[in-house]
Structure 1
Amino acid sequence: MHLAIAIVKLFIFLRSLFKLTQWLFLKKRWAQSKRSQCSAARSFRAGGTPFQQLSTAETEVISTLIKLEAINKIGGKCPFNPKELSPNVYRIVGPVIEQKPWLESNTDTQVKHTLNGFEVLIPSPGRRCLPTKAISEIHFVFYGDIAVAIRAPDCFDILEEQEAKPSFAPHLSIIKTQISSVYESSGAQKSPEVKPTNSDRLIQHMDQTHAIVYRDTCRANGYMFIIGTAGVFSLILALIYIAVVSEVWPAYLSEAAPGLTLVMTMTLIWPLLVAGFLAVEHWQFKKQPVIVFDREQEHVYLSPLAGEKAIVIPWDQLKISIRQLNMRGVGLEYPINFVQLEFAARMPDSRITLGAKSLSAGIGLWQTLHSFMHKDLHCVRGLETMEPEYRPEDPPRDDIYLFTRRLREKINSKDFFAVTGWLFLAALTLGPLPYILASACSRFRVRHARRRI
């Protein structure tokens, strides 16, 4: 027995020593690689001459590409810094593009190739060309000390624009590049004349005066997870309490009814945990951008954060840009396809960006808002969404209707294990409680959004 314990301890020690040695080696190797590659990039920029400068719109395209392809959309450890992007375009003739050794790293940004000795981000259209075509020259811009390839003659050009006709609306004209398709309009322009939709249920409220648009995270599924997690944590904390702190409780409670202490502790801890989750949700909503359309005053209010003064824009000056991105992240086998809706004014730093599932959904949402402002539409009920679980007549929030629909569907299901599992989940999360909480929080958020204008 003692020999077995000694062998286990020796194995843990040797493995820890190996991991420490590996970590120190990688840190030293990466530090050397970073110094050499950054030095090569700075030397090239110091001795090179740019032949072109990106426009503001092209800079935004490159920024979006870096955030999506290199930094995994949300930033991670290395959030995107627009000040690091230089608009100068450089050229290398006869480039040497090689796969970067896995032991070498410059930054948290995911980069898989080197270009004449320094790191380069090759976007997905370029990566598809590399194995099959010899690149005679390459044009790129710098993001910090990393090169970002934007074109190679006869291979790819991510900024080359052409007009295209979407299949769902051939009368519309959009601008298409190798990485995105963009539809632009404004309040002053005519309606796109497509089917109105409420994509992702972004329109949370609509009455005779106001339409309120924001992304609502108050979904029943989220509250089921919150309540179920609170129940599990309550049980764990209650057991810890009974094992460690239960001495302070009156002795007669545990003697009179075994398990009563556990039940009382859970009933006290559970609502505290749920209230804590709700407080966090409320705090996060303060950072949620909100857009309010007032058709009586013909104004649009952009509110990026709660507590800040909303930006007031006349309806005819509101600009809309709907961009569908079609790219593949570095090292990913599946495409990154999603849509950004950008509401903006002419003044700087006055824009709000929301997400949608497709270009047609984004344009359909704009058609809905356009129809509302021109008093052709008065209610969001009856509009199709992009989520099959919801029906057009549903309100733009989860409520008891969703619970009863799911219960009816599960009861009618012939899969015994699916029915049993769903009923157990419903019991664990106290039946309709998540749906009631989601509905109440959604209603509260609508009232809170009204106060921002």
Structure 2
Amino acid sequence: MHLAITIVKLFIFLLSLIKLTQWLFLKKRWTQSKRSQCSTARSFRAGSTPFQKLSTAETEVISTLIKLEAIDSIGRKCPFNPKELSPNVYRIVSPVIKQKPWLESNTDINVNHTLNGFEVLIPSPGRRYLPTKAISEIHFVFYGDIAIAIRAPDCFDIFGEQEEKPSFAPHLSIIKTQISSVYESSGAQQSPEVKPTNSNRLIQHMDHTHAILYRDSCWTNGYMLIIGTAGVFSLLLALIYIGVVSDAGPAFLSKASPGLTLVMTISLIWPLLIVGFLAVEHWQFNKQPVIVFDREQGHVYLSPSAREKTIVIPWDQLKISIRQLNMRGVGLEYPINFAQLEFTTTTPDSGITLGAKSLSAGIGLWQTLHSFMLKDLHCIRGLETMEPEYRPDDPPRDDIYLFTRRLKEKINGKDFFALTGWLFLTALTLGPLPYILASACSRFRVRHARRRI
């Protein structure tokens, strides 16, 4: 026991020493590098004349690029601030682009290159040309003190638009640039005439009056994870109590059998962690955006969060922009391909953005909502085509029957070790409890979402 305590103390000391060294390194080396590069950027802006100003549409494209490649997809520590984006476009002939040394690579948005001495974010279309082709001229804008490359003649241009016909719906017109493909529509326009889907199970409820749309993170797998973690912590704590604390504890516990002590400890820790998880999930859902479609009144309700005022939009004034992003994040080798659904109106700052797996899934979701508002669709069962474990008759929640289905699939399987692992996981997560909690939480959130309108 003394050896174990000594090892733990040594580990804590070494970890603290490493963290202190990292903090000193960040404060000294990276702060000096950042200060020098910011000074170079300010000197350049003071001595150079911009030759063009961006339009509103071009500013939105650059904002999307920054949020995807630099901030939202990687760091998430520095939220994007539109006020930091300058509309002035600068030009450098015969630019000097270098890879930043790793000792100087720490910035707010993970920039990996420098341009004539200051930091520059090269988007993924441009990074493909850096190792193989010399860039004779580059155009860029500033986001704070960091330059954002937007075009280089004969290399890349993030504003170069072309019309595209997607393979899943050749009759639709898609606007494509080097960073994204965009489909735009509104409630007043005709239906896109594609197969209805419920991508990412975003539509959580649909009846003859309302369709409620939000991202629900409380599924069975999440509850299985937290309950299983609670079980592991409870077991470890009980074993420690039996081996160390019980001798110095109350008399009735000292005389009790180890099995009784184990059961008492687990019965105390397990519900505490589960209740804490439920409280955190409830608090996070209050910040979750919710969209409610009311086809009887012909209105759409946009609720950014529980604390913000709900925006009421007539159905024919609702606008939607479905954007599939085709880029590679800074420092990542795999492509980032997903879609964003932005529900807006003519009023500024009145939009809500949700995510989908692809452009086709996003357009299919819009087809579902369009059909619902026209009273051609009354139920979302069977639309979860992207979730193979769900059947057409399943409601949009994880109920107890899903547990029975998974258990039967494992028992009917011939892999003994997989069955043993599944039974152990089932015992650790208290059997059907995750499914019961997920189902109850889903129904509660639907009721909570209704109160926002």
Task: Return the TM-score normalized by structure 2.
Answer: 0.92
Q: Is 1:90 aligned to 2:116, yes or no? A: no
Contact 2:73 2:329 in 1 (8 A): no
| Pair 1:370 & 2:370 matched | yes
Paired residue secondary structure (1:301): strand
- The DSSP-based 3-state class of the residue aligned with 2:103 is coil
**RMSD across aligned C-alpha pairs, in angstroms?**
2.4
The alpha-carbon distance between structure 1 residues 260 and 167, as it changes in their structure 2 partners (threshold 3 A), is same
Counterpart check, 1:216 vs 2:190: no
Identical positions, percent:
87
Whether 1:153 and 2:153 are equivalent positions in the alignment is yes
Q: Deviations over 1:195-254 (max 9, x none)?
A: 0011111111000100000011111111001111111222334445554477553x2454
Superposition pairs for residues 250-265 of structure 1, below 5 Å? 251-265=251-265
Alignment of structure 1 residues 60-71 onto 2, 5 Å: 60-71=60-71
In structure 2, what residue type is equivalent to 1:420?
Answer: T
Please identify, of 84-93 and 12-21, the stretch whose mean Cα deviation from structure 2 is larger. 12-21
Matched to 1:414, the amino acid is K
TM-superposed deviation, 1:390: 1.7
**CA displacement at 1:402 relative to structure 2:** 1.6
SS at match of 1:141: strand
Deviation at 1:61, TM superposition (A): 1.8
- Show the counterpart of 2:3: none
Alignment partner, residue 348 of structure 2: 348
Change (3 A) 1:426 1:349: same
Structure 2's unaligned 5+ residue stretches are 1-8
2:34 maps to a residue whose letter is K
What is the match of residue 306 of structure 1? 306
Cα deviation code 1:240-297 (max 9, x no counterpart): 5554477553x24542534322311221221122111111111111111000000000
Residues 369/14 of structure 1: CA separation in 2 closer, same or farther (3 Å cut): closer
SS of the residue 2:330 aligns to: coil
Distance 1:377 1:16, change over 3 A: closer
Q: What number of residue pairs does the alignment pair up?
A: 443
Q: Deviations over 1:318-349 (max 9, x none)?
A: 01000000111111110011110000111111
For the pair 1:322 / 2:344, whether they are aligned, the reply is: no
The answer to whether the 8 A contact 2:206-2:380 is kept is yes
For residues 24-423 of structure 1, the aligned pairs below 5 Å read: 24=24, 27-71=27-71, 73=73, 75-105=75-105, 107-239=107-239, 243-244=244-245, 247=248, 249=250, 251-423=251-423
- Matched residues in 2 for 1:173 and 1:57: separation? 18
Is the Cα contact below 8 Å between 1:254 and 1:260 reproduced in 2? no
Structure 1 consecutive aligned stretches of length 4 or more whose deviation exceeds 4 Å:
12-27, 239-242, 245-248
**Aligned mates of 1:23, 1:449 — CA distance in 2:** 43
- CA 1:140–1:365: 2 relative to 1, 3 Å: same
Structure 2 distance, partners of 1:322, 1:254, is 64
- The 1-side partners of 2:55 and 2:388 are apart by 41
1:60 shift after superposition:
2.0
Q: In 1, Cα distance between the equivalents of 2:20 and 2:288?
A: 42
Taking the aligned partners of 2:47 and 2:332, their CA distance within structure 1 comes to 35
Asked if the contact 1:200–1:385 (Cα under 8 Å) also holds between the matched residues in 2, the reply is: no
Unaligned runs of 5+ residues in structure 1 are: 1-8
Structure-1 separation of matches of 2:197 and 2:13: 61
**408-417 vs 322-331, which deviates more?**
408-417
